[in-house]
């Protein structure tokens, strides 16, 4: 499985990151409860976790921003290391992901050239397959 090149936030050093389609194992109920108990049922900001609105578990730093260990076939730190996972209310997790993780991961994809978008050349309006000919000068016009 080919890894991707990630860029560390500090000094922009390139390191081997997790493979593109790799996903960690799911957290068990016990692990999720341990995270919530460790946080005393609150988000790091102090807001109460509300299971009715949805509690999500956020990897911090995001998995795609972590270095890859070929020997362990996991990220550094490990993807399911409970010290690097925090419980957040669904709206808070969405805000945090949109402001921090999405731009960083998008930057990595741009640097790696895997955005899935190809640059399209701008066409001159009315242009056919070949370029437009130069206008012919009228004789006698100066």
Please indicate, yes or no, if residue 108 is contained in any of the structural domains: yes
Please indicate, yes or no, if residue 94 is contained in any of the structural domains: yes
Please indicate, yes or no, if residue 20 is contained in any of the structural domains: yes
Q: What pLDDT sits at residue 48?
A: 95
For residue 1, pLDDT beyond 50: no
Please indicate, yes or no, if residue 103 is contained in any of the structural domains: yes
Under 8 Å between Cβ of 66 and 76:
yes
Q: Compute the distance between CA of residue 16 and CA of residue 19 in angstroms, rounded to an integer.
A: 9
Over residues 36-69, the pLDDT tens digits come to 999 999 999 999 999 888 999 999 888 888 888 8
Q: What's the domain range around 92?
A: 4-112
Under 8 Å between Cβ of 40 and 86:
no
Please indicate, yes or no, if residue 84 is contained in any of the structural domains: yes
Under 8 Å between Cβ of 27 and 85:
yes
Please indicate, yes or no, if residue 121 is contained in any of the structural domains: no
- The structural domain count of the chain equals 1
Over residues 96-140, the pLDDT tens digits come to 888 888 888 787 777 766 666 666 666 656 555 566 677 777 776
Give the up-direction half-sphere exposure of residue 115: CA atoms within 13 A in the CB hemisphere: 11
Please indicate, yes or no, if residue 140 is contained in any of the structural domains: no
Q: Compute the distance between CA of residue 50 and CA of residue 64 in angstroms, rounded to an integer.
A: 27
Over residues 60-97, the pLDDT tens digits come to 888 888 888 889 899 999 999 999 999 999 999 988 88
Q: How many CB atoms lie within 10 A of CB 49?
A: 18
Please indicate, yes or no, if residue 142 is contained in any of the structural domains: no
């Amino acid at each position: 499985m080919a890894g991707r090149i990630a860029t560390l936030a500090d000094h922009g050093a390139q390191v081997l990151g997790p493979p593109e389609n790799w996903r960690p194992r799911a957290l068990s109920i016990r692990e999720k409860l341990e995270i919530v108990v460790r946080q005393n049922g609150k988000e790091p900001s102090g807001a109460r976790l509300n299971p009715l609105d949805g509690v999500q578990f956020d990897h911090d730093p995001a998995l795609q921003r972590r270095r890859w260990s070929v020997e362990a076939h996991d990220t550094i730190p490990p993807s399911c290391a409970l010290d690097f996972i925090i419980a957040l209310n669904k709206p808070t997790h969405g805000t945090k992901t949109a402001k921090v993780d999405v731009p960083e991961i998008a930057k990595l994809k741009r640097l790696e050239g895997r955005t899935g978008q190809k640059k399209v050349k701008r066409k001159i309006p009315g242009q056919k397959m070949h370029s437009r000919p130069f206008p012919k000068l009228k004789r006698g016009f100066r």
